[in-house]
Amino acid sequence: MQTPFPFESMLLFGSLAIMLLVGVALRAKIRFFQKFLIPSCLIGGILGLVLVNAGVFDFSVKDLEMLAYHFFNISFISVGLTSGNNQNKTSATKKVYLKGSLWMALTQTTCFSLQAVIGGLFVILFGLFGLELFPTFGYFAPLGFEEGPGQALSFGKVWEGLGFENAATIGLTFAALGYFFAFFVGVPLVNWGIRKGLATHDKQDLPQDFLTGIIPKDKTTESAGALRLHSANIDSLAFQAALVGLVYVLTYMFIKNFGRLFPADVSSMLWGFFFFGGLSFAFIVRKLMEKFGIDYLIDPGVQRRITGWSIDFLIVSTVMAIQLKIVLEFIIPISLISLTCGILTTFAVVFLGKRLGSYNLERTAAIYGAVTGTVSCGLLLLRIADPDFKTPAAIEVAIMSVFMLLPLPLLLILVNSTVWWNWSVSLTVLLFFCAMLLTLLTMKILKLWGSPKF
């Protein structure tokens, strides 16, 4: 029967939703997923990956990648609109969090550089043995592990236009493998620290609703947001989403017109930085609303829900977009780079975490999740060591993102140097190595690297 309207896009969205719901059900029933805190979006994404590659779901990989790209951008825009709301902390209170958040940012920069060095060295090594990989192949390690699936997909699609075939799938595979380290290494690591007595507060059993992922109906829950506009005029959720849409269009117009100033190959790379442009314009929109005294209309609660919603759909769609036949073609370099990055990143985080002055386990747990998965993974690991978030680590993770606004763009530019300026992989590896040493030296100077505490 012929339909009066095209349904493909909505059916694709609906299929992602079904996978999420199945993931919720499996997390609630299977103790294995509860033990390692595997989120429903990852469970549903892996199941969807199997169904797509088995031909049960007849969806275009490009359509999945397209949705994932936009979900990724939306998540950053909503973060930009949320930041700064309801921040009534005194300057004295902020100083308490400065040390931990700065340590986290420097550790994240160190791990990014370390993972880039490993990835670049493997590209050089494989070339010596006759396997020529695209120059940026190894840089999917930090993009996937540390920046997550959205970043890996965003740069992968751009690199495909520059001759890197199937780059998006390879990048998403690195991101998925990073999640495995975050949960299957991170959870036992934090539990080991608790057994060694390294947690600041006494060990507590995680609540059942945290493990199953479903809050019982008789339990009081926190509010998801507040009504900022009268429903007789416009629904509050519609208004918050409209702000995201406004920023999205502004970012699109800026990148499209700004790109005309550069050669075609350079301008195409700007689309890989759409997320950063969206974050920047979100800050601008929020500041303008503050200037006119209407920033109170931005509700942090609803914007956080938009962030969480987009990230959940981002993860399920990116995992489903992985093409197993491409993964098998590059299984050796992907496996060796990922395994080496995972092991050395674990050692690096534990080494630096031992040398902090306080809250070692909590801060180590939070940053380990961030440099192998996402900030959300870090908060999940932190919840094991600090169930009630009594330590400052949770807030420090958020402040860390502000500190990363300086080094992260420079690191992302450097991963593109081989395709932008035809720099050799050897040169970029050397620069990343220097960046790692400089970051470690900064930690020493700022006295964020002391004697081992455990």
Range of the domain at 139: 8-86+97-206+234-445
Q: pTM value?
A: 0.87
Q: Read off the tokens for 181.
A: 């380290």
Q: Which helix (H) or strand (E) covers residue 240, if one does?
A: helix 236-258
Q: What is the pLDDT of residues 78-131, one digit of tens each?
A: 989 986 544 455 454 555 578 889 999 999 999 999 999 999 999 999 999 999
Mean pLDDT of 11-40: 95
Distance CA 262, CA 273 (A): 15
For 176-206, how does the pLDDT look when each residue is reduced to its tens digit (9 = 90+)?
Answer: 999 999 999 999 999 999 888 888 877 677 7
214 is a domain residue = no
d(CA 447, CA 48): 47
Determine, yes or no, domain membership for 454: no
So what's the pLDDT on residue 92?
Answer: 46
Token pair belonging to 219: 């339990």
pLDDT of residue 371: 96
In this model, does residue 49 exceed pLDDT 60? yes
d(C-alpha 72, C-alpha 307), whole Å: 9
Residue 103 covered by a domain: yes
* Residue at 218 is within a domain: no
End-to-end CA distance of the chain: 68
In a domain, 215, yes or no: no
Of 12-26, 216-230, 295-309, 370-384, where does mean pLDDT reach its minimum? 216-230
Q: Is the pLDDT of residue 316 over 90?
A: yes
Inter-residue long-range contacts of 194-201, CB under 8 Å, 24+ positions, other chains counted: 194/361, 194/384, 194/385, 196/454, 198/360, 198/361, 198/454, 199/361, 199/362, 199/385, 199/386, 200/358, 200/359, 200/361, 200/362, 200/385, 200/386, 200/390, 200/391, 201/386, 201/388, 201/390, 201/391
How confident is the model at residue 96, as a pLDDT?
A: 57
Residues 194-248 have pLDDT tens digits of 888 888 877 677 788 888 999 888 887 778 888 888 889 999 999 999 999 999 9
More confident: 453 or 280: 280
Task: Tell me what percent of the residues of the chain surpass a pLDDT of 90.
Answer: 66
Does 216 fall in a domain?
A: no
Check residue 264 and give its pLDDT.
78
Please give the tally of structural domains in the chain. Answer: 1
Average pLDDT of the chain to the nearest whole number: 90
Q: What are phi and psi of 322, to 5 degrees?
A: -70, 130
Contact call for residues 19 and 45 (beta carbons, < 8 A): yes
161 is a domain residue? yes
pLDDT 10s digits, 347-393: 999 999 998 878 899 999 999 999 998 888 898 899 888 887 788 88
Does residue 172 belong to any structural domain of this protein?
A: yes
